[in-house]
Amino acid sequence: MPKAHTLADAKREQRRAYWTLVLPGFLVYISVMAFPTIFSIFLSLSDYSGGKLFGGKPVHLVGFKWYQNLFADEYFYLALKNNMWIVLVSVFGQIPLGFFLAYVLYRGIVKFADFFQTMIYLPTVISTVVIGILWKSFFAPYGAFPELVRLFNPQYEYGISNHPMLPVLFVILWMYTGMYLIIFIANLQKIDSAVIEAARIDGATEGQTLRYIILPALSGVLVTTAILAISGSLKSFDLIFVMTAGGPANRTSVLSIYMFDKAFKGAPRYPLANAISTVMVIISFVLIGLTKWAESKFGGRE
Amino acid sequence: MRDVKDTRSTRAKINLGLTYAVMIFFTVMAIYPLLWLAMNSFKTTTEFQLNKLGIPRDWVLVNYKDAWVRGKFPILILNSIIYTGITTVATLIFSFMAGFAFAKIPNKATKYTHGSFVIGLLLTLQSIMVPLFLIINWVGLYNSRLGVLIPYIGIAMPMGIYLGTEYIKAIPTALVESARIDGATYMKIFISIIVPMAAPVGVTVAILTVTGTWNEFMLINILTSSDALKSLPVGVQKFAGALSSDFGKQFAALMIGLIPMLLFYMFFRKEITKGVAAGAVKG
């Protein structure tokens, strides 16, 4: 490039460089994420019933008809209830457990912290499909679980469970607790250890240090993990799809499975499926909003 | 006085013992199912029926041989490597490029372009699944590698852009400006200054993209129908999920599905845990 830039030339090169750098990624992103999101809302208000998207049967807007159908369907509430169970297990199971384990390792209470951390995180990296089939076989009537129970209770007989969500919730807890362990450890390590040492020298107990120094320093992270847990729980699909596919009789169905069934099982009902996904997004935004509200209301002042 | 001290240290010892017990309990809980799977993948189905919990009497490899061939694993693994490799490289390049522009080249549009990527962090796969399926069909990319790759790249972009932009922002602007004064073009600055300096965040973005893409199951399942295009998780689900009584083979197939990520974790443990902590920025 010659050095004889005029200011206008420089501005023009700057603009050209900006768009050359931004556009490739931006276009891909817009076409596979931003546009489909808007398109999904449009579909949920339409009477599109499959077939050619453009130039086929004309598509009309039908208002909130599909949403009304959805809210009148008992299976929607069943799926929603199961999703809420997953939210509860994630927020009040994975997060406290992950925090507890992280705290023990961070404070150096036990040796081999690295080993414990590596092993407890291991389930998280394995693909959900493998995990799902593994546990499905483990809990199956002919699997290891009934055998294990019989070691302690020889009378045990396998029967159809009254709580088919329990194994699913257990596996969710098993699989993702390690992720919260990792997040908490990384953030605990950011706390200035001199502050903790000073408090200990001044006679603060372990509990007081935790209550007055560590937890307040982590309040932001706690909110972030809660948001991660909520949005992750609402999204959960793979594991349940593989483990139970929503069965028996839809009793382990969740919103994303419910949506998948409407769109891809039997005659496609795309508008209804999109109404479900729109409702899912709204629920997730509301729950995240509530979490942030709770933080500003009761949260620690950092 | 002495008594008090003694009971205190005894109590401390009991507490420590309990803490170890708890930690060991959770570790066993985490790895026992995986060990159980590994052990049973070496049993014949007949032996599994008789011996569900113990170690195999004869360690047989026949399950692996059968699963490898009948499950068509070579092509599945190759596909997974193609999808993951191209998605990761493209995500890295696009994220660095756009991240550099957002962080160091002033432009009024950044508020909207960068902003739209940040909103993308909150979007879920569910909200785009059906429309994406329809659009991919409409443009004629259904059941093609490109029809899987483009969505994969787009989905990985928000996180890549977010982490990339934040990191590049921290590179001193003076470096860019002095290179500009020396007459370097933005492209040259990008290649010779930004890319080398942002390499550490590149590792994080790569780790997150690799794990996310390798394990992805839902989209590829609806965007492809031909066996030759399926990825490892879909293949495992189709093959192992359908074997309801041939356990030996099923477990071997699951092991084959598990080993690549296990190796990846062994080699990049530090980077993976760092990446996960850095990626926990949603919201």
**Domain interval for residue B205:** 64-279
Give chain A's domain count.
Answer: 1
Domain-embedded: residue A48: no
Per-residue pLDDT at B141 exceeds 90: yes
**Domain interval for residue A269:** 65-298
In this prediction, residue B4 carries a pLDDT of 57
Task: Name, in order, each residue with C-beta under 8 angstroms of B86's C-beta and a sequence gap of 6 or more.
Answer: B149
Among A231-235, A260-264, B274-278, top mean pLDDT goes to: A260-264
The answer to whether A28 and B94 have CB atoms below 8 angstroms apart is yes
**pLDDT, tens digit (0-9, with 9 covering 90-100), for A35-67:** 999 999 999 999 888 777 776 677 888 889 999
In this prediction, residue B213 carries a pLDDT of 95
Do residue B51 and residue B89 come from a single domain? no
Among A194-198, B97-101, B122-126, top mean pLDDT goes to: B97-101
The whole-number average pLDDT for the span B87-107 is 96
Q: Between helices B232-240 and B247-267, what is the axis angle to 10°?
A: 160
In this prediction, residue B2 carries a pLDDT of 52
Domain-embedded: residue A7: no
The whole-number average pLDDT for the span A243-262 is 90
CATH number at residue B180: 1.10.3720.10
For residue B215, list chain A residues with Cβ-Cβ distance below 8 A: 127-129
Judged by CB atoms closer than 8 Å, whether chains meet at B131 and A278 is answered as: no
Do residue B134 and residue B271 come from a single domain? yes
For residue A134, list chain B residues with Cβ-Cβ distance below 8 A: 33-34, 37, 254
Picking from B14, B40, B62, the residue at the C-terminal end of a domain is B62
Domain-embedded: residue A21: no
Per-residue pLDDT at A160 exceeds 80: no
Three-class DSSP labels, A105-173: HHCCCCCCHHHHHHHHHHHHHCCHHHHHHHHHHHHCCCCHHHHHHHHHCCCCCCCCCCCCHHHHHHHHH
Q: In whole angstroms, give the CA distance from residue A133 to residue B220.
A: 18
The whole-number average pLDDT for the span A164-186 is 93
Q: Does residue B185 belong to the interface with chain A, where contact is any CB pair within 8 Å?
A: yes
Do residue B23 and residue B88 come from a single domain? no
ipTM reported for the complex surpasses 0.85: yes
Q: What's the residue count for chain B?
A: 283
Domain-embedded: residue A135: yes
Do residue B179 and residue B48 come from a single domain? no
Q: Does residue A92 belong to the interface with chain B, where contact is any CB pair within 8 Å?
A: no
> How much is the pTM?
0.90
Residue A191 burial by CB count (10 A; 0-12/13-18/19+): exposed, middle or buried? middle
For residue B37, list chain A residues with Cβ-Cβ distance below 8 A: 134
Do residue B97 and residue B137 come from a single domain? yes
In this prediction, residue B282 carries a pLDDT of 47
Domain-embedded: residue A43: no
Domain-embedded: residue A22: no
Per-residue pLDDT at A235 exceeds 90: no
Of B31, B33, B218, the CB nearest to A238: B218
When the pLDDT of each residue in chain A is averaged and rounded to a whole number, the result is: 88
Q: Does residue A103 belong to the interface with chain B, where contact is any CB pair within 8 Å?
A: no
Range in A158-162, B47-51, B244-248 with the lowest mean pLDDT: A158-162
Do residue B257 and residue B228 come from a single domain? yes
Per-residue pLDDT at A302 exceeds 50: no
Do residue B189 and residue B253 come from a single domain? yes
User: In this structure, how many other beta carbons lie within 10 angstroms of the beta carbon of residue B180?
Assistant: 18
Nearest CA in chain B to A257: B126
In this prediction, residue A301 carries a pLDDT of 47
In this prediction, residue B6 carries a pLDDT of 67
Picking from B36, B62, B88, the residue at the C-terminal end of a domain is B62
Per-residue pLDDT at A300 exceeds 70: no
Do residue B92 and residue B124 come from a single domain? yes
Name which residue leads in pLDDT, B98 or B46: B98
Query: Helix and strand tally (H, E) in chain A?
Result: 16, 0
Judged by CB atoms closer than 8 Å, whether chains meet at A134 and B94 is answered as: no
In this prediction, residue A141 carries a pLDDT of 82
Nearest CA in chain B to A1: B183
In this prediction, residue B274 carries a pLDDT of 87
**pLDDT, tens digit (0-9, with 9 covering 90-100), for B57-70:** 888 899 999 999 99
Give how far B24 is from chain A: nearest CA, Å.
8
The whole-number average pLDDT for the span B114-143 is 90
Do residue B79 and residue B58 come from a single domain? no
Percent of chain A, pLDDT > 70? 95
CATH number at residue A138: 1.10.3720.10
Picking from B43, B62, B81, the residue at the C-terminal end of a domain is B62
Per-residue pLDDT at B281 exceeds 70: no
Q: Does residue B37 belong to the interface with chain A, where contact is any CB pair within 8 Å?
A: yes
Residue A160 burial by CB count (10 A; 0-12/13-18/19+): exposed, middle or buried? exposed
Give chain B's domain count.
Answer: 2
Query: Helix and strand tally (H, E) in chain B?
Result: 15, 0
In this prediction, residue B283 carries a pLDDT of 38
Q: What is the dihedral of CA B258, B262, B263, B267, to 10 degrees?
A: 160
**pLDDT, tens digit (0-9, with 9 covering 90-100), for B200-239:** 999 999 999 999 999 999 999 999 999 899 999 999 998 8
Q: In whole angstroms, give the CA distance from residue A254 to residue A245.
A: 10
Q: Does residue A14 belong to the interface with chain B, where contact is any CB pair within 8 Å?
A: yes
Q: What's the residue count for chain A?
A: 302
Percent of chain B, pLDDT > 90? 71
Per-residue pLDDT at A102 exceeds 90: yes
The answer to whether A171 and A93 have CB atoms below 8 angstroms apart is no
Do residue B58 and residue B47 come from a single domain? yes
Per-residue pLDDT at B109 exceeds 90: yes
Name which residue leads in pLDDT, A50 or B269: B269
Within A67-129, strands assigned E span none
Per-residue pLDDT at A291 exceeds 70: yes
Do residue B256 and residue B131 come from a single domain? yes
**pLDDT, tens digit (0-9, with 9 covering 90-100), for B145-157:** 999 999 999 999 9
**Using 50, 70 and 90 to split pLDDT, how confident is the model at A232?**
confident
